[in-house]
Structure 1
Amino acid sequence: MNWEIIEANAGLAKIKVIGVGGAGGNAVIHMMEHGIQGPDFICANTDAQALERAQGATILKLGDNLTKGLGAGANPEIGRAAAERDRAAIEEMLKGADMIFITAGMGGGTGTGAAPVIAQIAKELGALTVAVVTKPFNFEGKNRRKAAEAGIAELVEEVDSLITIPNEKLMEILSKKTTMKEAFAKADDILKGAVQGISDIIMKPGYVNVDFADVKTVMSEKGIAMMGTGRSCAENERGVEAAQQAVSSELLEDVELKDARGVLVNITAKAVTLSDNAEVESVIEGLIAENATIIWGVVEDDTMDEAELLVTIVATGINQRTATLAVDNTRKATVKLNPVGLHAHSTRHLESGGTSSAEEIDFLDVPTFMRKQVD
């Protein structure tokens, strides 16, 4: 009889998360600080000073000969050129991954320019590639919004699935007293939730298990994606409540779940009942197309409260006018949205004797902690 020694992590998918630019790097730092288990974390930036904060992550300095470690100056062309110059280093960093998450802020320099290049390399390596990115506020100016849209249009062609977080929607749901620092933290929470929600589905064993192959089936439906979570402790119909939270939010942009070509549903509780399954199904089946590929998972987690039920939904291949949002709608007794985050600002270039438009913001007028989000 031949015995084979199998390592504890054998068979588990290798996941890497790479934060590109200031906003992406901040999101990765936030994930590590909150103890997300499983993925390897990488921070890639043209700004050497920003990389000093990424303690515990693998560091990838982009275009050092080009930018001298001073950043991309909110210029996507510089960000793209920096990534192109370091393609070999990027490939080495990403090698061996089954799934790669790319987090970035669109509209700035490094994130907008380098993320599509990194996504292209990830796909060339054969990895399932998912990008989770932010879109700028309207007040950041037309140039920045145009740069973001151009970056997103390029990125969606390179990744398997793209989840976007529209910062402008924050204006509708955040308190006027919310500080900029708090808003950035909320943005990082949303980015963290999107990555953790999907990676946990892969990494945590379930009673009805969803593995990497299942996730790949859904997330390979190329295009725009949505990821939502809902949590309920209701005595009655907790499955309905949690599922409704997962698929609905005033933060969503023109989402049409009926257009999704792939849907992954994962239910987690200390003990998942038949009625929980039926209730979640009753909500989902009325929102998605009959021909959509649906993968269903159930995880029983002994650490959860008896009354608690968590529903995670990932929908891919959604057709719509604008990109969709990663929603974290989790709550206890009442709906509590985790709003999407602020990101960056725009710069202005003044010619001699010229003036800036009302919708442009001077780079030097913005506090340092905000400027770190630009690239």
Structure 2
Amino acid sequence: MTAQIINISSLDKSKPPLSDRVKVIGIGNAGLKIVEKLSMIKEASGLEIAGVDTDSASIMKSTITAKYLVGAEWTNGIGTGGDVLKGESAIAHKSNIAVKNFISNGSLLILVGGFGGGTATGGMPIIARFARERNIPVLMLVTLPFSFEGHSKRDAAEAQINNLLRTKSTVITIPNDLLYCVLPDTTPFDKAFSMANEEVAKAVLGIAELLRCDSTISVDLCDLLNVLAKGKTDCGIGIGTASSVETKDRVNDALKNLLSSPLLGGKQRLKISDALIISLTGGSDLTIGEMRFALDTLKSFAGEHTEIVVGANIDELYEKKIQLTVIPITYDKSNAISTVPIEEKELFNIKTTTHTAIIRNVNKLLKHKEEQPELPFTTRSRGIFTPTSQTLYNGEDIDIPTFQRKEIHIDKGR
């Protein structure tokens, strides 16, 4: 067996390490609020954060520095009204040049937003495409609507997720309904949304820390993408932080806080998950004993066949503090994404993969005889030219269709 020798001088040195320029973009109203929460976290100071929306009022209220109003010519600056196609058109508009410039030199792009509306649902795939055109890896983290928000929003979110999975995109979906597991019924409406946004912001930070190249226990981006790209997923988020200033046993306290996270779905969620993404970050005072106890405890909560991706990182911003991040992933085995184009499904009504079924449906189409309807060519009219002066040529009003002027009989093909 011979070893492969790689000439280091031939490697692409222009491409920055993954940890150099991690960029986060919040899309739409929910996305803006999530990145606002992220920008307030001291440990997120190494991330480059921006917001994109089609609503000028939302942009004006946002406290983040890099914020971009796009597609104002499509939306008049008042948003998309939940129209996914309008969101797609607005983000694809030429006013997106500032967004393209923001992501152009990134090493990893994390997109966050709430699916179900128009801007994020329609626009996130467009921004992801901008990044892929520049060979920048993309990870999308989206929240799904509360059940009380109605079926139309949920259907729009599910449809776009299915579309993204067909293009092999990496999507982490977080149902907002997980908040019901831990929040009492008396929780104020706005507080529930605020807590959800804060947890998603912490999850973004946890994912970024997981992929840091200088990690003590590093995770290759391919490992993470492979876990997430196996099909449609249902995910949760667990965040647990603790400081040695406030407690003598910060690891146990961090674990307790993680298990009570609003978007985790409880300890049982870890047991039934098909995969777990675990991230541990601490300062230089993090001991190997603390690291082992935290990671072993989380692994013990997992099922026997659960696939686990683990990363640990030392960061000076976490001095005297530790943060545990867990993303439990469950694959949707009952709703596999078909690779057959939608048009073919509708045309042939394919329900099985047997050749006879396809041939039978094709024969039905061939036997079906289309009938051309009779057009009502009876009224002699100048149409929109009625209120105008006649356009005469050789004594004939040429604004009247030729077949009517010359009284031509139309053959109906019967």
The question of whether the paired residues in 1 share the 8 Å contact of 2:28 and 2:119 is answered with yes
Compare 124-133 and 285-294 and name the one that shifted more: 285-294
The question of whether the paired residues in 1 share the 8 Å contact of 2:112 and 2:141 is answered with yes
Q: TM-score, normalised by structure 1?
A: 0.68
Which one of 154, 162, 166 corresponds to residue 145 of structure 1? 154
Amino acid at match of 2:238: G
Cα displacement (A) at 1:187: 1.9
For structure 1, the 5+ residue unaligned runs are: 1-9, 324-375
Change in Cα spacing, 1:78 to 1:255, as seen in structure 2 (3 Å) is: farther
Amino acid at match of 1:25: L
Cα displacement (A) at 1:73: 0.9
Change in Cα spacing, 1:64 to 1:104, as seen in structure 2 (3 Å) is: same
Following the alignment from structure 2 to structure 1, what is the Cα–Cα distance between the partners of residues 101 and 36?
21
Cα deviation code 1:279-336 (max 9, x no counterpart): 522541662667947444242758544xx653333566x523699xxxxxxxxxxxxx
Residue aligned with 1:52, SS? helix
Cα deviation code 1:144-184 (max 9, x no counterpart): 22112223323444575322232223234323332233223
Report 1:17-56 matches (<5 A).
Answer: 17-35=24-42, 36-56=44-64
Following the alignment from structure 2 to structure 1, what is the Cα–Cα distance between the partners of residues 331 and 261?
18
* Alignment match, 2:373: none
Change in Cα spacing, 1:248 to 1:59, as seen in structure 2 (3 Å) is: closer
Cα displacement (A) at 1:239: 5.2
Change in Cα spacing, 1:313 to 1:216, as seen in structure 2 (3 Å) is: farther
Following the alignment from structure 2 to structure 1, what is the Cα–Cα distance between the partners of residues 39 and 334?
30
Which one of 80, 84, 89 corresponds to residue 72 of structure 1? 80
For structure 2, the 5+ residue unaligned runs are: 1-15, 336-414
The question of whether the paired residues in 2 share the 8 Å contact of 1:257 and 1:288 is answered with yes
* Alignment match, 2:134: 125
Cα displacement (A) at 1:71: 0.9
Cα displacement (A) at 1:240: 6.8
Q: How many equivalent residue pairs?
A: 306
Amino acid at match of 1:310: Q
The question of whether the paired residues in 2 share the 8 Å contact of 1:71 and 1:110 is answered with yes
Q: TM-score, normalised by structure 2?
A: 0.62
Cα deviation code 1:187-208 (max 9, x no counterpart): 22012111111223445955x2
State the structure with more CA Rg.
Answer: 2
Cα displacement (A) at 1:110: 0.8
Which one of 293, 303, 325 corresponds to residue 312 of structure 1? 325
Which one of 197, 222, 228 corresponds to residue 188 of structure 1? 197
Amino acid at match of 1:62: V
Cα displacement (A) at 1:108: 1.0
Amino acid at match of 2:239: T
Amino acid at match of 1:32: S
The question of whether the paired residues in 1 share the 8 Å contact of 2:50 and 2:64 is answered with no
Following the alignment from structure 2 to structure 1, what is the Cα–Cα distance between the partners of residues 180 and 273?
27
Cα deviation code 1:218-243 (max 9, x no counterpart): 2354254655333467867x757755
1:214 is the counterpart of 2:228? no
* Alignment match, 2:90: 82
Following the alignment from structure 2 to structure 1, what is the Cα–Cα distance between the partners of residues 327 and 38?
20
Following the alignment from structure 2 to structure 1, what is the Cα–Cα distance between the partners of residues 59 and 107?
25
Following the alignment from structure 1 to structure 2, what is the Cα–Cα distance between the partners of residues 322 and 132?
22
The question of whether the paired residues in 2 share the 8 Å contact of 1:128 and 1:220 is answered with no
Following the alignment from structure 2 to structure 1, what is the Cα–Cα distance between the partners of residues 203 and 170?
12
Which one of 282, 304, 307 corresponds to residue 268 of structure 1? 282
Higher relative contact order (CA 8 A, sep 6+): 1
The question of whether the paired residues in 2 share the 8 Å contact of 1:115 and 1:155 is answered with no
